[in-house]
């Protein structure tokens, strides 16, 4: 084998290693991003109060439902051992829109479920279900909280117009932490 051929193969091997390492780093960043989003949703839920009649008993679980990305479902499952409002957390895939208002207390619309999300948001409108969406896509369409990554930080906005009939009480402290708060009649 000539020196030139050996050098080309060695260069090719280094290039492949660099590309694979870069892909792995991006995948890890993506996994870390999903974990951070799940942790933020968990924290935000602690600043929201549901109406007493939402739960039949003091030991009822707080039900987190996810539509879309399985990675966020897995990230929520990792946090499910940390109670919220003294309630255990039950994590599940979002049921059919006709069942979501009675089966979920928190609804997370992940990723690119844009076409289908409208159905779920309509199904929980006016119900005590805390809704989250990524990238601000649904903030003006009925999601109470929207999350986006800006400058490597997860930012969230709150749409009080979407929350007005839900009977959910959002803490003033949480409103102060939000990057943006849309008030009724003023959009997101």
Return d(Cα 105, Cα 80) in angstroms, integer.
Answer: 14
* pTM exceeds 0.85: no
In a domain, 113, yes or no: yes
The CATH number of the domain holding residue 70 is 3.40.50.2300
Chain-centre distance for alpha carbon 178: 15
Q: Which two tokens stand for residue 80?
A: 């499910």
Instruction: Domain count for the chain, please give it.
Output: 1
Q: Which domain holds residue 145?
A: 34-182
The per-residue pLDDT of the chain, averaged, comes to 78
Q: Is residue 46 part of a domain?
A: yes
d(CA 66, CA 83): 18
Residue 18 placed within a domain = no
- CA angle (144, 150, 156) in 5-degree steps: 20
Instruction: Tell whether 4 is covered by a domain.
Output: no
Percent of the chain with pLDDT over 90: 36
pLDDT tens figures, 67-104: 888 898 999 999 888 888 778 889 999 999 999 999 99
């Amino acid at each position: 084998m000539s020196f030139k051929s050996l050098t080309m193969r060695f260069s090719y091997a280094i290039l492949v290693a660099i590309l694979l390492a870069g892909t792995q780093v991006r995948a890890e960043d993506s996994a870390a991003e999903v974990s951070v989003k799940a942790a933020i949703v968990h924290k935000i839920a602690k600043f929201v109060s549901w109406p007493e009649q939402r739960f039949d008993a003091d030991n009822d679980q707080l039900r987190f439902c996810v539509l879309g990305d399985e990675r966020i479902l897995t990230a929520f499952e990792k946090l499910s051992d940390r109670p919220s409002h003294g309630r255990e957390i039950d994590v599940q895939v979002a049921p059919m829109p006709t069942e979501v208002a009675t089966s979920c207390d928190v609804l997370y619309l992940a990723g690119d479920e844009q076409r289908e999300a409208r159905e779920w948001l309509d199904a929980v409108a006016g119900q005590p279900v805390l809704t989250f969406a990524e990238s601000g896509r649904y903030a003006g369409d009925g999601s109470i909280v929207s999350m986006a990554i800006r400058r490597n930080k997860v930012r969230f906005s709150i749409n009080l117009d979407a929350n007005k009939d839900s009977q959910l009480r959002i803490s003033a402290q949480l409103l102060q932490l939000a990057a943006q708060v849309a008030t009724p009649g003023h959009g997101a």
